[in-house]
Chain A
Amino acid sequence: MMFANHPSAFRRIAAAMAFTFALINLPMGAAQAGMVATDQVVEQSAGAEAVEARETVGAFLARDDVRQELQAMGVDPSEAQARVASLSDAEAVDLANTIEEAPAGQGALGAIIGAGVFIFVVLLITDLLGFTSVFDFTNKGSANPS
């Protein structure tokens, strides 16, 4: 492939092209010619740094980053697209910057099984002191009548 040595450059160009096409065929609810979009109003009233309308190019790239990241994490492509579609521009930019470290809730089951003995002991102690709540059997204060 021509861009094989520059995958990010290729992605940028592809994204810019996709953005151009997106402008031609904007989905419902996005900015229409002449109308100030609701997302714009939300951003402006949030009192955050002024968001210029043309910043949507950056948001478009961010959406693309998030979508690709989700796909890389095993999410079906059409599902990844649908998840990204209901994010606001600001949320997309924020998530694009944080998705790799963002917490993913797993639950109280099993996640610690693979941990080493040292971590196990530390968590056991912190559990007993009430700083953490990893193990069921340390939760002496809990009641579960059902």
Chain B
Amino acid sequence: MSIGSIVKTGAAALRAAALVFLCAGLAACAGTPVADRLTAAETRPDDLPVRAELAATPFFAQTAFYCGPAALAAVLNETGLETTPEALGARVFTPGRKGSLQADVVTAARRAGRLVLPVASMTEGLEAVAAGDPVLILQNLGLEAAPQWHYAILIGYDLDAETAILRSGTTRRLVEDLATLEHTWRRSGFWGRVAAAPDGPVPTTARAHDWLAEAAGIERAGLGAEALAAYRTGADHWPQDGRFPLALGGALFAQGDLAGAEKALREAVARSPSSDAALNNLAYVRFRQGALEDAEELARRAIDLDGPNREAARETLAEIRAARAS
């Protein structure tokens, strides 16, 4: 008789025992308000399809302790990047923890030239799936007192059947109660990430600030071309947001393209006239181009805004004046 069948025959007795455990407060488990709201007919969101499944999402069966690299490889492949858990392992896995830290999952994506954008909630995770984006999630399959942290990919759900569909561990298509997903995912604070290529498309759940922060992460990782592409994609997708041309100007300047930087920063100033960072950076680029008069006027405007970067603007002005005096 296998362990499994022993367990199944004893299941009823264990359920009874479980109630005693719960009453004793040994397993303090909250309800599942999100799953309840999503599945009840009267509270179900109108704009969320009843079911969705991203059947084409790749699957890499994890080897021991390697769920992080396996799950990340799958979502990165989904963005058109060919990679494997083995290729990512050294960048994601931390031997002393026999696992993968969230920070290392994020930085490994950046170092591969990809953006991993947070989903804000379980509901938004389902919305992402409905819009075509699989969600890399961190679950605690165990309890707070006996944690078992695990990365999986949310690829589908069925609100009528009250189930979620995951790529998980060695199981290509794991169907799980939506309520169980809520329990296990909640323990990580619903940590979930959607991957995107720097050229886009921009996931429907992505926020401008997150796109900007991840693009900056790619730039920090030393991938200049991918960072430029990500800033440009952000600038197109959020046409009112001055931070994208501002960041683009900074990256072009760092790569020695003064003319490109000037063009981007003029766009930044046009979009965000009250950004002292945009004015200061444009002033500095004009200074480096030798346009000292223009540079000084821009630096003065930056200082006059009396914003968070007034010290930087004062330094810029001092540098310009020193150059004009000499």
Q: B246–A139 contact, CB under 8 A?
A: no
Chain A, 62-109, CB within 8 A of any chain B CB: 70, 72-76, 79, 82-83, 85-88, 91, 95, 99, 102-109
- Stretch from B40-48, B98-106, B123-131 at the A interface: B98-106
Q: Using Cβ atoms and an 8 Å threshold, which residues of chain A touch B91?
A: 79, 82-83
Nearest A residue to B231 by beta-carbon distance? Answer: A38
Q: A124–B103 contact, CB under 8 A?
A: no
- Stretch from B76-84, B162-170, B194-202 at the A interface: B162-170
Q: What per-residue 1/0 map shows which CB atoms of A43-79 lie under 8 Å from chain B?
A: 0111000100100000000000000001011111001
Q: A75–B142 contact, CB under 8 A?
A: no
Chain A, 7-56, CB within 8 A of any chain B CB: 27-29, 32-42, 44-46, 50, 53
Q: What per-residue 1/0 map shows which CB atoms of B243-260 lie under 8 Å from chain A?
A: 100110011011100000
Pick from A36, A42, A134, A144: contact of B172, CB under 8 Å: A144
Q: What per-residue 1/0 map shows which CB atoms of B37-77 lie under 8 Å from chain A?
A: 00000000000000000000000001011111011000000
Q: B247–A38 contact, CB under 8 A?
A: yes
- Is A5 in the interface zone, CB < 8 Å from B? no
Q: What per-residue 1/0 map shows which CB atoms of A121-146 lie under 8 Å from chain B?
A: 01111101111111111110111111
Q: B95–A75 contact, CB under 8 A?
A: yes
Q: Using Cβ atoms and an 8 Å threshold, which residues of chain B touch A85?
A: 220-222
Q: A128–B253 contact, CB under 8 A?
A: no
- Is B277 in the interface zone, CB < 8 Å from A? yes
Q: Using Cβ atoms and an 8 Å threshold, which residues of chain A touch B14?
A: 124-125, 128
Chain B, 261-303, CB within 8 A of any chain A CB: 276-277, 280-281, 284, 287
Q: Using Cβ atoms and an 8 Å threshold, which residues of chain B touch A111?
A: 65, 98, 148
Which interface residue of B103, B172, B222 has the most chain A CB atoms within 10 A? B103
Q: What's the least CB distance linking A142 to chain B, in Å? A: 5
Q: What per-residue 1/0 map shows which CB atoms of B9-40 lie under 8 Å from chain A?
A: 00100110110010000110100000000000
Q: Using Cβ atoms and an 8 Å threshold, which residues of chain B touch A141?
A: 163, 175-177
- Is A4 in the interface zone, CB < 8 Å from B? no
Q: B174–A144 contact, CB under 8 A?
A: yes
Q: Say yes or no: A132-B183 contact (C-beta < 8 A), given A37-B250, A86-B111.
A: yes
Q: What's the least CB distance linking A109 to chain B, in Å? A: 6
Chain B, 130-165, CB within 8 A of any chain A CB: 138-143, 145-151, 163
| Dominant secondary structure of chain A at its interface with chain B | loop
Pick from A33, A83, A133: contact of B139, CB under 8 Å: A133
Q: Using Cβ atoms and an 8 Å threshold, which residues of chain B touch A130?
A: 177, 179-180, 183
Q: B246–A41 contact, CB under 8 A?
A: yes
Pick from A87, A110, A112, A133: contact of B103, CB under 8 Å: A87
Which B residues have a C-beta under 8 Å from some C-beta of A?
3-4, 7-8, 11, 14-15, 17-18, 21, 26-27, 29, 62, 64-68, 70-71, 90-91, 94-105, 107-108, 110-111, 138-143, 145-151, 163, 168-177, 179-180, 183-184, 188, 209, 212-213, 216-222, 224, 227, 243, 246-247, 250-251, 253-255, 276-277, 280-281, 284, 287, 308-309, 311-312, 315-316, 319
Other A-B contacts than A35-B281, A35-B284, A109-B170, 14 sampled, CB-CB below 8 A, are A28-B254, A38-B250, A41-B243, A79-B91, A83-B107, A103-B188, A104-B149, A105-B67, A107-B67, A111-B98, A122-B143, A134-B142, A141-B175, A144-B173
Q: List 9 A-B contacts (CB under 8 A).
A: A41-B247, A53-B312, A74-B94, A103-B149, A105-B150, A111-B98, A124-B7, A128-B18, A144-B172
